[in-house]
Homo-oligomer: A and B are copies of this chain.
Amino acid sequence: MAVLDLLGRRWALGIIWQLRGDRLTFRALQSACGGVSPTVLNQRLRELRESGVVELSEREGYGLTASGHDLRKALEPLVAWSKRWARGAPASRSLRR
């Protein structure tokens, strides 16, 4: 299941989720993701671009490809679940780092 390898890296899911609406510049994306280090952001973006999920246009910045939008749609049940989960399990959010 290669997709779990692609998406099971830190920020990968978040990046896709942040790009669900308008296109974002590198720096906008960086701050939207809570200040990821540019090293990792760039690495993730490279992987996602090589996977055909994310694309960069010079004018408008980063955005999802058609395939990426499909992926974002496939993520929606997950987000719906997470909302239910956040409501139902308030003690569970304390993951120490």
> A77-B74, A81-B74, A88-B67 given as contacts; is B13 within 8 A of A7 (CB)?
yes
Identical chains in the assembly = 2
| Residues of chain B lying within 8 A (CB to CB) of residue A1 | 14, 17, 79, 82
Tell me the residues in window 1-50 of chain A with beta carbons closer than 8 Å to chain B beta carbons: 1-14, 17, 47, 50
Report whether A80 and B74 are in contact in the complex, using a CB–CB cutoff of 8 Å. yes
Minimum CB–CB distance for A68 against chain B, Å: 10
3 pairs of A and B residues whose beta carbons are closest in the complex: A3-B82, A74-B77, A74-B81
A residues bordering B, Cβ < 8 Å?
Answer: 1-14, 17, 47, 50-53, 67, 70-71, 73-82, 84-86, 88-89, 92-95
